[in-house]
Amino acid sequence: MATILILGAGVMGTALCVPAADNDHRVMLVGTPLDGEPIHHMKAGEAHPKLDRPLPENVTILADHEMTPQHMASADLIIVGVSSPGISWAIERLNQTLLTPKPVAFVTKGLDRKDGRIVTYAQTVPGQVANIAAFIGIGGPCIARELADRYPTMSVYASRDRQIAAFAAELLQTPYYRLAVSDDVIGVEACAALKNFFAIGVSAMQTRYPDTTRADGHSKNPTAAAFTQAASEMAMLCERIGGRCDTAFDLAGIGDLHVTVGGGRNSRLGHGLGRNQTVGGMMTSELAGETVEGIDTARVLVELLNTVPSAKTDFPLACAIIAAVLDGGALDFDFATLFA
């Protein structure tokens, strides 16, 4: 039995408590200052507001102010379960409470900047936290509610040290939560961010070309074409960021892109763009107050594409998504540009 501390009581951090607890580990779930409502419900023995059932009894729920360095000291593995806007808070809390080196895994998805380059959190966070013994990136197709309901799920745990990734995977793997291991942590982290971004463009095709004869109202050919284009562009971008292009064609890339297109905030934004709504309009109406991580990725990714002279030819879908995000207009993607 091990002790696992999960920092961030969002839906994914909370869902990861389930396989950890099912393996009879001692699990501590610590909320952020913004997690007051779910922490209140779960302390009362109720389910997280976005999940279907209460957590197992061997999960201890802590508010942010209740966590101490002693909690961190007792942990064999720490998992950071915040979204990209919360990464600064997580870094601060780790520096305050993580006083001895420990491996730290991240479900946080986003791109960062370092020395004028676009990089991943795997390349920037370790230098900002004194006692990260190893950075582990968690990626792959995982809808939090389905994991918490123990549906069969596959993910990938990645670290520069493959043995460290295997150590974390062994702690979390269950008969329903199956975990691959990789040493391409930069590629996994890059794809984790890029799939949110590309899901916007792929999802837009579902509503731009409606098919009223189908139950879901979505045509399939345009979506499949955009999905394939997204996979190709994601592989090339992954390599430019420092990862391996083959990672884009595995769990962290096309696997995660598939489930993200199937639902979530990035997909909802894409559906709006497919109906000729704008990013600004969507973010002040049905997505008001939501974190759409693909938007943050677009704002960073433009800096990379500005260094590529052939960007409009090599990355037409990425350029169309970025233009919609930065210019505030509708998504302008022309299939006639492909294979031209």
Statement to judge: residues 165 and 224 lie in one domain: no
Give the CATH number of the domain where residue 40 resides.
3.40.50.720
Q: Dump strand ranges (E) for 63-164.
A: 77-80, 102-106, 111-114, 117-120, 132-139, 153-158
- End residue of a domain, out of 134, 157, 183: 183
Instruction: Please state, in angstroms and rounded to a whole number, the distance separating the CA atoms of residues 107 and 113.
Output: 19
Same domain membership, residue 227 and residue 114: no
Pair (141, 202) in one structural domain: no
Domain range for 318 is 187-337
> Into how many domains does the chain fold?
2
Are 162 and 203 contained in the same domain? no
Q: What is the pLDDT of residue 66?
A: 97
Residues 179 and 191 both lie in one domain: no
DSSP state of 186: H
**pLDDT (0 to 100) of residue 151:** 98
Instruction: Name beta bridge partners: 80.
Output: 7, 106
Nearest to 72 by CA among 125, 14, 139, 130: 130
pLDDT of residue 330: 84
Q: What CATH number is attached to the domain comprising 296? A: 1.10.1040.10
Q: What is the pLDDT of residue 168?
A: 98
Of 160, 183, 206, the domain-final residue: 183
pLDDT of 177: 98
Q: Which residues, including other chains, have CB under 8 Å from residue 38's CB and lie 6 or more apart?
A: 9, 10, 14, 31, 48, 49, 50
pLDDT value of position 309: 96
Task: Answer yes or no: do 329 and 251 share one domain.
Answer: yes
Q: Which residues pair with 218 in a beta bridge?
A: 210
Instruction: Kindly state whether residues 58 and 127 are assigned to the same domain.
Output: yes
Write down the pLDDT at residue 82. 95
Same domain, 26 and 109: yes
End-to-end Cα distance, the chain: 58
Structure pTM? 0.95
Residues 105 and 171 reside in one and the same domain: yes
d(CA 302, CA 238): 14
Q: What pLDDT is stored for residue 271 in this prediction?
A: 95
Provide the pLDDT for residue 290: 86
Do residue 148 and residue 192 come from a single domain?
A: no
Judge if 268 and 234 occupy the same domain: yes
Q: Is 242 helix (H, G, I), strand (E, B) or coil?
A: coil
146 and 172: one domain?
A: yes
User: Which of 155, 183, 211 is the C-terminal boundary of a domain?
Assistant: 183
Looking at residue 210, what DSSP letter applies?
Answer: B
Q: pLDDT tens string for the chain (340 positions)?
A: 899 999 999 999 999 999 999 999 999 999 999 999 999 999 999 999 999 999 999 999 999 999 999 999 999 999 999 988 899 999 999 999 999 999 999 999 999 999 999 999 999 999 999 999 999 999 999 999 999 999 999 999 999 999 999 999 999 999 999 999 999 999 999 999 999 999 999 999 999 999 999 998 899 999 999 999 999 999 999 999 999 999 999 999 999 999 999 988 999 999 999 999 999 999 999 999 888 899 999 999 999 999 999 999 999 999 999 999 998 878 999 898 888 6
